Structure 1
Amino acid sequence: MTTYDRAIEQARDLLRWRSPLRTELWAARLVSEGDPDLLGELAGSERPEARLAIAALATLELPDDLTTTASATPYDAEAVQETPTSDEERDDLTAAAREDEEPDDLTATVPRTPPPYGVDLAVAGREALEWLPRWAARMGEVVCEGAWYGRGDRHGEQVLAALAFRYADGREPHLLVVGIDQAHGGLAVDAVVEEPKFLDDLDLARAPADVVAGRVLDAFEVTDLLMGAEVADTLPAVRPLALARARSVPDPVRHAPDETFTAFDALPDTPGADEAFGALAEFLGARPLWWSPARVSAFLTSWLPREAILSDAAIAAMPEVLRAWTRHLGDHEEIHDRIAAEAPRLPALMADESLAGLAKRIAASRTEEPGADPPAGGGYGVQ
């Protein structure tokens, strides 16, 4: 059975179920199969099932190669009839399609001139809706009702971005949750669409919908840029719908700063604390929720000696700054233990010039020139 044949068979059931959400999820799975001929076959078909698939695909975020390489098969212009104008007429056509297996037995066709270089999915989708029951027009017509963001695990190696949606008629509420890997650059590694009650099991905080939508788009962009990125096997089947949902949020904020820093108001009132926190913020970068024992060790024993020029006061204040930051991010005992184990070595490591990286060496040499200003606190280079 070809992808097209299977799609027709599945669409027949979807026409009976009348669920926009189920149909969009099904269409997203079709996209993930990557059949380069499917779109052209669907666009050239006169079956209501094919029209349902085209209408659903038009609501999603499709890869460019899928829409530009597909070309529709020619249609019979003499067989074209007037577009049905009522739900009753549309239902009669879809009922007839379920009774007859062969496309040639169907009398309902839709005028469709294939574009020379591929299928114009937006146009084809609008045309298809004219022949489908009215519920199909609700596909893609969703309203975002809330957004949440936070850690997906104890140490924040993965964060979760959640967006809640409901169709314009108020039906089929659903929750999109995207897992964003922090340890490998902030790429989208998994996504699910669940019932809203799924949120009850997640420890996430409310956040602006435009910011969360932007983070979802940012994460998928990173995934697309990384060749061979390791993602969950389930991600491709949800990706087209996840992108479409994120783009449906008005004015997504791309590359928004993480408010975890601005929410931190417990900086110790000790000399050098501001300078020490500046170095920590530079190390954490755009992924401040990721704070684990291993990351503490990397910061204290590798990054600071290699990249940062700090005053003696900042070095002395660093352990207390890290303890305050740890309390801000859950106050986990194992992280406090790692700070206690690694922090005593920091003064000696910072004094070891053999551990300094090139950027730090250049910056330090400039401060030794006559008339040069003393170094400002903070790190040099990037993580």
Structure 2
Amino acid sequence: MSTSAFDMAVTQARDLLRWHSPLRTELWAARLTAGLEPDRVEPFLRELAEDGSAESRLTLVALAAVNTAPSPDSRPPHDDESMEAYARAAEGLVDTLPEWVRRMGQVVCEGACYGKADPYGEQTLAVLSFRYENGKEPHILVVGIDQPNGGLAVDALVEEVKFLDDLGLEAADPGVVGGRILDAFELGDRIMGAAVADTLPDVRPLAIARARGVPGLVRGPGDETVSRFDELPDLPGAREAFERLAEFIGDRPLWWSPARVSQFLTAWLPREAIMSDAAVAAMPEVVRAWSRFSGDQPAVLRQIDEDAPRLPALMADDSLAGLAKRIAQNRL
């Protein structure tokens, strides 16, 4: 962080002291965090501490508010030292600033939503609703979670509550949604070069801080979508066929696109699944039923019509079987 950048931060903090907005200040601090290279954190904090002005003190307190220490079982190792530095630099400063500064980070989670961001569920939206303890500045955190690439966070924003009106998401347990958000960010931290929105880094620190503060967090939560499916066709082999489908769907059941349907019918089943003739015969209707349950998208149903007739021949072609399937077949 250069001296000119320090001067800019102090100038912006001066404006924030006039706004009296905890939310605006936390969003600013998150952006400030995103612009700090790890090796510049402590020098920048020292410069603020040495300055000692109200603007510098506000900056230190705001940075600490959006860089809260995680629980020991989910701590990203590369964040440890920086987070501890933020906390140390802000010690004892909040009482030297206006009363509204104390509200930063002091929010109540009022609910959560979760669901598809697009017709095929290739991205899901995890939403947490908050307001400050004094009832002011209600807001929502919205995190976009990519499904084809394993469930990593690809975008995030903080919006007014009315933003929910057009999303069509279902209410969900806040602890589960908070856990999904933290899991999605931690997965993204482990994947080098993951494609994410340009806006994500500026919101990431605040998003993680908000999610960590949700009571009753559930890490690695399951998804009950498959268990809610009750439209299984009355056909011989249908239950067996659905068990294979559920195995393929795994922990990302909202993602159901034409490409994923085709992968299941023409690649995964021939490579991985051992099924009875009855289950093979029932599979197209089982997949159609699941597709209707998953949004009844015409393009998905057309893909089933295109690929399903080939399934018996593909399942009979032993050359398509993967190693695990061949080993299992030899044990039968």
Tell me which interval the TM-score lies in, with the shorter structure as reference length. Answer: over 0.9
Q: Quote how far apart the aligned CAs of 1:123 are.
A: 4.2
Aligned to 2:261: 296
1:277/1:321 contact within 8 Å kept:
yes
Aligned to 2:28: 26
**Which string of whole-angstrom CA distances, capped at 9 and with x for unpartnered residues, describes residues 349-377 of structure 1?**
0000000000000000011xxxxxxxxxx
CA distance in 2, matches of 1:266, 1:10: 57
Letter in 2 for 1:339: I
Aligned to 1:244: 209
* Gapped regions of structure 2 (runs ≥ 5): 69-75
Matched, 1:68 2:81: yes
Aligned to 2:73: none
CA distance in 1, matches of 2:164, 2:301: 30
Q: Quote how far apart the aligned CAs of 1:282 are.
A: 1.0
Matched, 1:363 2:328: yes
Aligned to 2:296: 331
Change (3 A) 1:66 1:285: closer
CA distance in 2, matches of 1:351, 1:15: 72
Q: What SS class does the counterpart of residue 263 from structure 2 fall into?
A: helix
CA distance in 1, matches of 2:50, 2:326: 66
Following TM superposition, where does structure 1 have runs of at least 4 consecutive aligned residues deviating by more than 6 angstroms? none
Change (3 A) 1:66 1:11: farther
2:45/2:89 contact within 8 Å kept:
no
The more displaced of 204-213 and 261-270 is: 261-270
Matched, 1:16 2:36: no
Letter in 1 for 2:9: A
- Say which structure is richer in helix: 2
Matched, 1:230 2:195: yes
Q: Quote how far apart the aligned CAs of 1:8 are.
A: 0.3
CA distance in 2, matches of 1:126, 1:132: 12
Aligned to 1:54: 60
Root mean square deviation, CA, Å: 1.6
1:43/1:119 contact within 8 Å kept:
no
1:42/1:51 contact within 8 Å kept:
yes
Letter in 1 for 2:222: P
**Which string of whole-angstrom CA distances, capped at 9 and with x for unpartnered residues, describes residues 89-143 of structure 1?**
xxxxxxxxxxxxxxxxxxxxxxxxxxxxx96433432411011000000000000
Matches within 5 A, 1:250-265: 250-265=215-230
CA distance in 2, matches of 1:8, 1:231: 30
CA distance in 2, matches of 1:149, 1:356: 37
The more displaced of 327-336 and 35-44 is: 35-44
CA distance in 1, matches of 2:8, 2:77: 23
CA distance in 2, matches of 1:67, 1:347: 54
Q: What SS class does the counterpart of residue 291 from structure 1 fall into?
A: coil
Q: What SS class does the counterpart of residue 154 from structure 2 fall into?
A: strand
| Identity among equivalent pairs (%) | 62
1:39/1:66 contact within 8 Å kept:
no
The more displaced of 38-47 and 202-211 is: 38-47
Q: Quote how far apart the aligned CAs of 1:205 are.
A: 0.5
Aligned to 2:131: 166
2:107/2:133 contact within 8 Å kept:
yes
Matches within 5 A, 1:129-140: 129-140=94-105
CA distance in 2, matches of 1:43, 1:260: 51
CA distance in 1, matches of 2:245, 2:228: 15
Q: What is the number of residues matched between the two proteins? A: 319
Q: What SS class does the counterpart of residue 29 from structure 1 fall into?
A: helix
Q: What SS class does the counterpart of residue 130 from structure 1 fall into?
A: helix
Q: What SS class does the counterpart of residue 208 from structure 2 fall into?
A: helix
Matched, 1:204 2:204: no
Residue from 162, 179, 197 that aligns with 1:214: 179
2:34/2:201 contact within 8 Å kept:
yes
TM-score (normalizing by structure 2): 0.93
Q: What SS class does the counterpart of residue 58 from structure 1 fall into?
A: helix
Residue from 263, 268, 273 that aligns with 2:233: 268
1:268/1:320 contact within 8 Å kept:
yes
1:213/1:253 contact within 8 Å kept:
yes
Letter in 2 for 1:227: M
Matched, 1:348 2:313: yes
Aligned to 1:182: 147
Aligned to 2:270: 305
Aligned to 1:114: none
**Which string of whole-angstrom CA distances, capped at 9 and with x for unpartnered residues, describes residues 14-39 of structure 1?**
00000000000000000100241322
CA distance in 2, matches of 1:66, 1:300: 43
